[in-house]
Amino acid sequence: MSLIITNVNKTFTNFPALRDVTFEARSGEFIALLGPSGSGKTTLLRLLAGLDTPNSGSITFEGEDYLKLNPRDRRVGMVFQSYALFRHMTVAQNIAFGLNVRPGKQRPSKVEIKSTVDRLLRLIQMEDLGKRYPSQLSGGQRQRVALARALAINPRILLLDEPFGALDALVRKDLRRWLKRIHHETGVTTIFVTHDQEEALDLADRVVVLKAGKVEQIGTPLEIHSQPSSAFVFDFLGSANKANGRIKDGVAHFDGFNAPVAGAANDGDYTLRFRPYEVHLARDGTGIPVTVTAVLPAGSNLRLELKGTDGSLFETQHQHGSAAHGFAVGDQLRLRPERVYAYA
């Protein structure tokens, strides 16, 4: 059974935070809500958690009207960026909190609670740290405890609100791998909020891209990355180069050269977009005339910053050991996109 969100609207005073948001999360699916600040990601998460109500629209889960349930009955596990752990409680007590505060008839026995805590400590690979306090843990460890606490109540839906936002890049990468394993083992339907496109594309089964409270595009990471439906999605997913050109019969024409167009586009003048790694750079031949302004390492790639004769700025990325290693600041080159994207 699925989580179905249909035509959901939410307004704060005169600000439309969500506008006719519609999508479906299949049972056990990992959905990433991706978008800039103010796009409505956290507002939608709060509606799912029961911390707020929409002005209109419907939310159902497993055929049940979710909006008619109080937050406790929704069985939602939520993890915040700030961890929100109780400082006066040990790791084990934090994990057990959601079970210990249940009403008497619904509360598991002490033996069952201990068994659940032990199981989750093993799951988060912190078996020997149950007696420690949050202040004695690293940021990554605290985030694992927060996730274990959310899982302790056996949630039907797991909501993650930028859970890695306060961590450094290396820890975030390790936790992404760990979270993928946890999701695979638990199979809990998960909604993950992030403004980091790398996180969304790495973790999610499908990505919902939001812009100003509206759904801009929904698709698998590969679909979103290779077939962005709008200029906004293209620009938000990574570095974007732009150049003016004209499309005729499905081919982009520049001054003295042309390039294939990804997808269908009507004939006409466009601001054409292309990725930094989908370019050819040479000292001569055809292409946009540019001057190298910076040569920088970028992980497994080499990144070049370039400036066109009209002041336009470009960025290109190349594998280490490629011909680009022979270029230096001040070199005058020709930049030719291998393919371009056009949006009305």
Computed on alpha carbons and rounded to an integer, the radius of gyration of the chain in Å comes to 24
The C-alpha angle 296, 297, 303, rounded to 5 degrees, equals 60
Residues 6+ apart with CB under 8 A from 136: none
Q: How many residues does the chain have?
A: 344
- Contact present, 314 and 272 (Cβ < 8 Å): no
Residues contacting residue 197 through CB under 8 Å, at least 6 positions apart? 34, 236, 237, 238
The sign one gets for the Cα dihedral 24, 26, 28, 29 is: negative
First-to-last C-alpha distance (Å) of the chain: 38
Distances in whole angstroms, Cα of residue 162 to Cα of each of 41, 85, 243, 294, 296: 10, 16, 34, 33, 30
Q: Can you list the domains of the chain with their CATH numbers?
A: 3-234 (3.40.50.300), 239-341 (2.40.50.140)
For 272, the 3-state DSSP assignment is strand
DSSP character for 72?
H
Residues 6+ apart with CB under 8 A from 283: 331, 332, 333, 334
3-class secondary-structure state, position 257: coil
Closest listed residue to residue 164, CA positions, set 142, 182, 132: 142
Phi, psi of 114 (to 5 degrees): -65, -40
Over residues 172-230, the pLDDT tens digits come to 888 888 889 889 989 999 999 998 899 999 999 999 999 999 999 999 999 999 999 99
Distance, in Å, from the CA atom of 251 to the CA atom of 213, rounded to the nearest integer, reads: 34
The pLDDT of residue 166 is 66
Task: Give the integer Cα–Cα distance in Å for 156 and 147.
Answer: 14
Q: How many other C-beta atoms lie within 10 A of the C-beta of residue 32?
A: 27
Measured CA to CA, the distance from residue 144 to residue 126 in angstroms comes to 9
Q: CB neighbours of 38 closer than 8 A, spacing ≥ 6?
A: 212
Characterize the bridge pairing of strands 206-211 and 241-248.
unpaired
Distance of alpha carbon 137 from alpha carbon 165, whole angstroms: 17
How far is 317 from 91, CA to CA, in rounded Å?
Answer: 44
Q: Which residues pair with 280 in a beta bridge?
A: 336
Q: Is the pTM of this model over 0.75?
A: yes
Question: pLDDT under 70 in the chain at which residues?
Answer: 1, 166
